[in-house]
Amino acid sequence: MAANPAWAEHLAISNHGLRNSGGIERYAMTLVRGLHERGIRPTVIAKAFDTRLPEYNWVTPVHTGVRAAPGKLRDLFFDWRIGRAKRRLGLFPLIGCNQTRWSDIGICGGTHPGFLEAMGARARLGDRWKIGLERAHFEASQTIVAHSARMRDELVRHYGIAPGKITLLYPPIDGARFAPVDAAARAVLRAQLGLPDDRAVFLLASTGHKRKGLDLLTGFFARTELPATLVIAGRPMAGAIPNVRHLGYRNDIENVYRAVDFTAMASLYEPFGLVGVESVLCGTPVLLADDAGCAEVIRVPAQLPFAVAQPASLARAVASAVERWRAGTHRLAAPRDLLGYDPRVSAHVDALLALARNLADRRKSTH
């Protein structure tokens, strides 16, 4: 492995945590692994670190505790602590995975106004604070990485960001972890999870049930007469529902993708949706809300689209999926061919490093 290149000696990442979690924290962990493969040891500024992870040994950690601050002010306090660390350590460029006015490369994995709009919610005082910090994050960044065209459009619409400041880079996926297995291995996984062989099994991976469309999905599966079962990986449900099972929290979500027949994504707001691409890479097609960010890159037949606002379209998508399951044609033989971008971590990290190096070169030329 090569040594840290000179221009990247002060490269930094800020995020709420360096730990196994969903969404943007998983993205930050993936960046650390990709940088490590290139011999780059970034400084990571975070509120929390899981010191048991190998990734912890691949970074220079800067722990910035925020427990002294009131709950709703912790993001603002964290932002202030990031600024102090950046100035003290001479960090540049800073890849801001959280909302911070100190980012040089701002990562956009979602916007708070877009979330409120999709959820039909009014902005309260805490929301206005979040939006103010998010606006500062995007306006102060020299360049912004949007994780989907939907996010690029929200940046322009909600914050007035110039399109030329935005680079579209879809998120990377660990291709070694998320890959198909053969039929025999899949049968073993299915048995281990106790999944029925005489019903098509659909997966909802969710820790935020309202946003992820739990009510829409459970309402359908509780009433359907199709041979179909919904399993939920993540936060527990309240009460028992016909044709619905809870698998609990899973650290081996890749094996769940492999074992089920379809993954269902009915989110009210899905800026990208790593679940969709991860499922496809494991050979499992996705019932996908047509306004999800990952719908931009998942091709038919890997995607069975429907509209969240039109329950009849969900019924049609499930019926089509069950028909494919009955015919035994639902598994995806060449998943990578069904994606409209290169999901490799190396490709994403190379593109991000090109942006970082460009900023470093520009800064050097002005000094």
Pair 166, 200 in one domain:
no
Does residue 1 form part of some domain?
no
Longest dimension (CA), the chain: 70
| Contact criterion met (CB below 8 Å) for 14 and 98 | yes
Angstrom CA distances, 48 to 87, 115, 134, stand at: 21, 25, 21
For residue 46, what are the domain limits?
6-172+344-365
Q: Where are the beta strands (DSSP E) in 277-330?
A: 286-289, 303-306
Does residue 245 form part of some domain?
yes
**Amino acid 2: pLDDT:** 54
Task: Please name every residue paired with 43 in a beta bridge, in sequence order, or none if there are none.
Answer: 12, 60
Radius of gyration of the chain (CA): 21
Nearest to 17 by CA among 44, 49, 39: 49
Task: Please name every residue paired with 201 in a beta bridge, in sequence order, or none if there are none.
Answer: 229
Hey, what amino acid is at 9?
Answer: E
Does residue 302 form part of some domain?
yes
CATH of residue 189's domain is 3.40.50.2000
Pair 72, 166 in one domain:
yes
Pair 102, 236 in one domain:
no
What phi and psi values does residue 105 have, to the nearest 5 degrees?
-115, 110
Question: Cβ atoms within 10 A of the Cβ of 98, count?
Answer: 26
List of residues 6+ apart from 271 with CB closer than 8 A: 108, 109, 110, 111, 114, 147, 148, 150, 151, 293
Question: Which residue's structure tokens are 């299915």?
Answer: 190
**Amino acid 1: pLDDT:** 52
User: Cα(251)–Cα(256) distance, rounded to whole angstroms?
Assistant: 10
Q: How many domains does the chain have?
A: 2
Does residue 132 form part of some domain?
yes
Nearest to 96 by CA among 144, 150, 147: 144
Residues in the chain: 367
Pair 113, 214 in one domain:
no
**Amino acid 92: pLDDT:** 97
Pair 208, 352 in one domain:
no
Pair 319, 351 in one domain:
no
User: Cα(161)–Cα(144) distance, rounded to whole angstroms?
Assistant: 9
**Amino acid 208: pLDDT:** 66
- Classified as helix, coil or strand, 141 is coil
Nearest to 171 by CA among 155, 150, 156: 150
Pair 207, 292 in one domain:
yes
| Contact criterion met (CB below 8 Å) for 233 and 195 | no
Does residue 253 form part of some domain?
yes
Does residue 289 form part of some domain?
yes
pLDDT in tens, the chain (367 residues): 555 678 889 999 999 999 987 778 889 999 999 999 999 999 999 999 999 999 999 999 999 988 877 777 899 999 999 999 999 999 999 999 999 999 999 999 999 999 999 999 999 999 999 999 999 999 999 999 999 999 999 999 999 999 999 999 999 999 999 999 999 999 999 999 999 999 999 999 987 667 788 889 999 999 999 999 999 998 777 778 899 999 988 889 999 999 999 999 999 999 999 999 999 999 999 999 989 999 999 999 999 999 998 989 999 999 999 999 999 999 999 999 999 999 999 999 999 999 999 999 998 888 6
User: Cα(357)–Cα(80) distance, rounded to whole angstroms?
Assistant: 26
Nearest to 257 by CA among 316, 327, 212, 201: 201
Pair 125, 193 in one domain:
no
